[in-house]
Structure 1
Amino acid sequence: MRILHTSDWHLGQYFITKSRAAEHQAFISWLLCQVSEQEIDALIIAGDLFDTGAPPSYARELYNRFVVDLNRLGCQLVVLAGNHDSVATLGESRELLACLNTQVIPKVSDDPGSQLLVLKDARGEPGAILCAVPYIRPRDVMKSRAGESGDEKQQALGEAIAEHYQRLYQLAQELRESYDASLPIIATGHLTAMGVSCSESVRDIYVGTLEAFPASLFPAFDYIALGHIHRPQRVGKTEHIRYSGSPIPLSFDELGSQKQLLVVEFTGGKLSSVEPLNIPCFQPMQVIRGSLAKIEHQLEALDDSAELALWLSIEVQGQEYLHDLQQRISAMIHGRNLEILQLRRARERSGLALQQTKEVLTELKPHEVFEKRLALESFETEDELRRRERLCHTFSQILNQLESREERA
C-alpha cells in the first residue's frame, strides 16, 4: 500500500501582489505524473486546500479538474479541511466528488464512525484504515464551561482532542477485526504539534486556545499525516508522525527548506518506509540582505536569464535613513528580469541587530486586511455565522471582479 501525503496547497493565494495560479497549475501537473510513476494508491491532502474560505473561481476550477484527472489514474483522494478552508465550500460538492473516488471531510462529525475510511490498494482490496480528522474547532469536541481559567480551558481542550483521537482509534481497531487482513491504521490532523518549527506564512491560528498538541497524546497509529506547518518535518524524533509541508513557498522565509511530498509505504500491515519526494521550484524567489552597497553587488551577480522573473525580498541593513531607498533599489534592477515584492529595513539598537517587522499594506493581501477587520467582530450564533459567510462571499466576488478588470487592463 503506497500513500502520498501532502497538505497546505492554499489554492487561490495572492503572494503580496502576485497570483500563484501558474505555480499551482505546474505543481498539479507534476503531481499527477508522480502519482502514476510512483504507483500511488491513495493521496491525502491534510488541510488548507484553499487559502481562504471563499476561494476565487480559478482555484475551484484547478481543484475540480485535479479530482477528475486523479480519478482517471485510479488513485483514491482524501481531502481534509484546514483552518483556512470553509466547511460550507468543501462540503457543497462532497457527494458529487464521492462518485469520483474522492472523500471530503469538511468538519468533525457527530458520528465518529463517519470519519473512518477504508483506503484500497491497486487490486481494489482494503489496504489501510484512515481516521480522517480535519481541523478541529473547540465547539466540535467540547462545551465551554463558565468560570474556567485560560489554563483550564487549554487543558480541557487538549484532553478533548486526545479523547476524540482515542475514540476513532478504538473504532478503527474494531473495523480492522472485521477484515481478514492486518491493516495499518492511519490518522490525519491539521494542528500544531509540540516542538515543530513554523514559518511566517503560518498564522497563529491553532485549535482554539491550544497552542500546541502534545504528540504523546496520539494513540498508537501506524502513521499520522499532519498539516498546518509549511516546513516538512518529523514531530519530535518520530518516524511516523510527519508534516509534509506546503508544495510551494508561501513566504520568503520558507526558501531555506526543500519542498516535498511524502511517499508512505506499508508492508504486511506495518509502516515500511517514508520517503520524501522533492518538489521542483516553479517560481524563482530569493532573499537579499545587507548594506546598500552589498545589495547592489548581490543584485549584479543574480542570473536573470530565466523565462520567469525572479521575485525578490530585499532587507536593507544599517542605521542610515534613505528617503529615496525605493528609487535607488528600483534603479539597480532597471531593465532586468527581476521583481521586488518586498523591501524592508533592518536597524540596529544598542549595538544589537534587531529586525523591525512592521506590517505595511504592501505586505498584506486584500483578504488578510478583510480578515483582520472581521476578527474584531464576534460571530457566535448560527445567524451570525451565516452573516459572516455572506460577507466573505461578497468580498471575494468584489475582489475577483477587481482582479479581472486589472487583468483586462
Structure 2
Amino acid sequence: MSSLFLTILLTVLGPIFATSTGDLDAVVVVFRHGDRTPIKPYPTDPYGNRSYWSADWGMLTNLGKLRHYHLGQWFRQRYSDFLPRIYSEKDIYVRSTDVDRTLMSAESNLAGLFPPVDTDVWLGGFPWQPIPIHSIPETMDAVLAAKKPCQRYDNLMRKLFETPYFRNISHINHDLYAYLSRYSGSTVTNLKQLEYLYNTLKIEVMNNFTIPEWARKVFPDKMKPWAELSFATMTFTDELKKLKTGPFFNDLLKYFNNRTLTNKTSQYYSPKFLMFSAHDTTIANLLNTMGAFEYHCPPYTATIIFELRKTPSGGNFVNVFYKNSSEPAPVRVKGCEFDCEWENFKRILGFYALPLDKWDLECSNYLILAVDSLNFFILLGAVSGAVMAVTGVVLLTKRRSRRSEMYSQLPDEEYA
C-alpha cells in the first residue's frame, strides 16, 4: 500500500478508529428482557389456555434465555480488553427490576458474560457461577422500573391525553378501538390498551400460532403505528421526561462524573461496568429523553450502551449506541455530536436529571399539584356556581308563588 494512500485512508477513517479504540473508562448497558409469553391472554384468545405455552404467563421462554446468553457473549467479546474474565464485584454491578423475566434475563446474560474460568470454577463441568443481581420492589423504584407512585406525573399524563392532538387520535381510532373491543372481548379505548393487544398478537405470531381472521385484518399494519406511538407517550413532554427518567439520568451522570475524577479514591465502590435489566418501556423512555427515539416497539434484548471514553489530552467524551439487531447503531443525543464531550453530555441530560429527594418533592408538592389541578377547580367552581344559581331561581320562584297566594294586587297598584 502506497504511503499516500495510507495517509488518505487514515485521514478519512482516523476519527472512526479513534472512537472505536479510544481509552474506555466506564460502560453502562440497559437492556430489555428476552422473549416472554403473553402477560395475559385476551378473552377470546384461541391460545388462552396455559397448555399452549412452555412457560407461565409473562415469563421468560427458553428462546428468551438463549437470546440473553448470546448477548452476554457479545458483551464478553466487545469488552474483552476492558472487563476481566475473572468475576469481581469491583468490576461490575448488576441491577434489575423486581420482575421474574428481567431477573432471569440478567442471570442468562451473566452466564454468557462471565462463564467461570480459573479460580471461578467451583464445580467441574458446570459452566456457570452465581453473580449478585440487585433489585427493589417496583413500587419503591423510581430509577429503573420507574413505577414508584407519582401523583404529579399521573396528573400530567391525564392532561396530555386531553390535548387536541390526542383527542384527535382517539377520534381517528374510534372505529378501530370498537372493532378490537368487539372481537377480542377486551376493552380497547386508548393507545396503551391497543399496544397491549398488539403485543399479545405479535408474540403469538412469533411462536408460529395462526391468529384469528379478524386479527389478520388489522394486525400488524393498522395497529403497528399506534402501538409504536404508545411508547412515546410516557415521555412526550419535558416534564414527563424529568419525572419518568430523571432519577436514572441523575444516577448515570453522577456515576460518570465520579469516573472522570482524577483522584479515584472511591474507585473500589465505583465498578467500571453497570448492567441494568429492564423493559421495552425503559428503552423507549431513555431514548426519547435523549431525543433519539424513532417510533418503534423495542424488541427483546434491545440494548442502550453508554460508553465513557478518554481523549489523549485527558478529556472525556461519551458514545451512545442502540443495539436492536446484530450490530449496535450510533445514537446522537439531541444537541450533541456522536463523540459527545462530557461537559456537553452532562449539560444536556442534566436538564432532565432529578435526584430522588427532588423527585419525591416534585411528585408530592401540593402547590404544583394544585396548579396542575387548576382546570379542575375552575370547572368545579363553575358547576358549583351554576348549581347555586339554579337553586336561587327555584327558591325565588317558590317565594313569589307563596306571595301570589297571600296578596291580591289592587287595580291601580300596577302604576304605583
Q: Shared fold by TM > 0.5?
A: no
Q: Higher helix share goes to which structure?
A: 2
Q: Which has the higher contact order (CA 8 A, sep 6+)?
A: 2
Q: Which has the higher strand share?
A: 1
